[in-house]
Structure 1
Amino acid sequence: MDTDRFDQIIAALTGDIALYAYSWAAIVLTLLISLTVARALLNIAKTFNEADVLRRYPGPPPTKSGSIDRRIRDLRQHASRTASAVALRALGLVVVGLVIPGAVIAVLVVQQDWFLPGPAALALNGQGVGAAEIGALDLGVFLSDQALRGGLADTFEVFGLGISPIENNPDNLTFSGIILAYRVLAGAVMLAIGYLILRVILGRRHVQAAIQRLEEGI
């Protein structure tokens, strides 16, 4: 390969078009990894029920005082471990389903001139506004607002609620589509977390009922 040809290849691989493609590839790869993990955690959440909190034992229940005490301790420890595992899954869902995609959206807003040249991604009072004009805190509040709007379905829209005056600019179709997808994902994540919490509460009630029956046998 001659030197001129080699220089042309290097220039093509390091030019603006190539860097733009690399940037979007990194964005897409980050979102795909995040969504893949989120989907796995959502599938786990769907199969979880209150029966997982209450440990089952073969054979008849214990009748001696010492055995009953050990069974009660084991029931409580299992319920506590299960609740801790559920809490970790819920935290993982928040991270991969809300925090990481939210951070990606923030990068797109801050670096909009590079990623999304055209109409402003955000709007304030119906007018396009840049990230430099609103600041990092306002951007964080905007992302939280979008997550809540997705998690609480149409509640915010129906009652005219909101924690941020900043909105996505509908003139920027690409960014608005990303925000719509983020809301859908936020809704799925919050629904799954609510489901897990409900099942743990019901499971703990079953555990307490089982413990009460054992204690009555002492």
Structure 2
Amino acid sequence: MIVTEKRVTIYSVIGRIIFKSNIIRKKVSIFTVKIRDNTDTINIHCINLDDSYGIFELNKVVKIRNPFIGKANNTDQTLCKHHYRINFDKDNKDFTSLEESDHDIPFFPLQISPIAIKKIVKKKVKDLISVFGVVIQRDDAITIVESYKVKCNLWNNFVTEVEKNLNLNDVIALQDFQLSEYNSSKYLSSCLSSQYFINPQNPKTNELYDWFKKNVETNFKTC
């Protein structure tokens, strides 16, 4: 997803919707949508488009034709690190939803670069971390393991989604979870930019399944 501030005559951006905020109503109404393709993520800043809110469905893929591009601000970059954003209003909102057969955007991001859980101890608080792990505990938080174990706090819609979809011994990929520390122990928390993928189609998933079967009785160390 190569996007710059210059607007050319005709080009398109295609991405999967991975986040949609609530509508904030002040002098104008605003909501934000985040989309991802095979290489990057970008925010769509929607102004006075309440009637289009329901059209943006999570996990659906949209094609945006000739988008109007502006520079991202600090708030935008809490959702993703792209330096630009797409601006939508009533005069600039040329987009359509695509069927799964009409694109090559996977559900699981090809660009995710997980680190080993044991390496979390060397990371700084507030760093955004991506990891794979097997779920060994599920209550008000989840605990995952991959040689070491780490607790992951979930907030807002993540809680409901995990209650419905996640089971013990599932493999989960966490992307852009924020690192925190309490009493010298590191843990992860979901934030606005976070995503999770349960049993993703990835070689790492099968590796973790096989590894966990052989080590299920292990008393894993905590980060």
Which TM-score applies when normalising by structure 1? 0.21
Give the structure with the higher percent helix.
1
TM-score calculated relative to the size of structure 2 = 0.20
Higher strand share: 2
Greater RCO, CA 8 A, separation 6+: 1
